């Protein structure tokens, strides 16, 4: 028995452009940079082919980037993928940024080993800093540089220590923890 398989790969789907609507605080360039697996053509040595799964993951990265920059209400309103009359793939993403938020008051509860001031120093987050939940989580537990609150307690033998940030108030552009 002889089996012959013929595969027609077709043309690659290359991305001609990625456009953003609704972004006023963050530039298109910075947003495109967050989309590491969905790139437009014209880059030297870079791929620009469209892959649905990677594109979906890149949309999540956009919102994560906005959250990291203090825009905790940022959402992706819609996205459109289409081919123009020349067959090039085009992407348009509509965003709502919302307002940038800042840390205001940070209260420490349940602490018995260290002073509140010492824990605030280890956190390294001051009143007026841009609200970044990712940074807060990193400073609470398992920071690469060893500068985190959980290390303080675990070094003292408290193996089941856990710090949970709780938003106690959100007013205008400020968040209390």
How do residues 36-87 score in pLDDT, each as one tens digit? 888 776 555 556 677 888 999 999 999 999 999 999 999 999 999 998 888 8
Please name the residue ranges forming H helices in the chain. Answer: 28-34, 52-68, 116-123, 133-140, 149-155
The percentage of the chain sitting over the pLDDT mark of 90, rounded to a whole number, equals 44
Q: Give residues with Cβ within 8 angstroms of 164, minimum separation 6.
A: none
Measured distance CA(172)–CA(44) in Å, rounded: 45
Task: Decide: pTM greater than 0.75.
Answer: yes
């Amino acid at each position: 028995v002889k089996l012959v398989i013929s595969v027609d790969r077709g043309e690659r789907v290359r991305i001609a452009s990625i456009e953003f609507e609704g972004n006023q605080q963050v530039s298109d360039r910075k947003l495109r940079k967050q989309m590491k697996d969905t790139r437009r053509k014209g880059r030297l040595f870079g791929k620009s082919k469209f892959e649905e799964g990677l594109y979906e993951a890149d949309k999540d990265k956009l919102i994560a980037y906005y959250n990291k920059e203090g825009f905790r209400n940022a959402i992706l309103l819609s996205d459109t993928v289409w081919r123009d009359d020349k067959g090039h793939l085009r992407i348009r993403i509509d965003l709502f940024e919302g307002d940038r938020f800042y840390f205001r008051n940070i209260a420490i509860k349940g602490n018995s080993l260290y002073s509140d001031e010492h824990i605030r120093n280890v956190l390294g987050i001051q009143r007026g800093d841009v609200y970044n939940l990712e940074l807060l989580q990193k400073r609470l537990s398992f920071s690469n540089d060893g500068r985190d609150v959980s290390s303080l307690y675990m070094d003292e033998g408290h193996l089941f220590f856990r710090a949970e940030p709780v938003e106690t108030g959100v007013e205008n552009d400020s968040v209390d923890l």
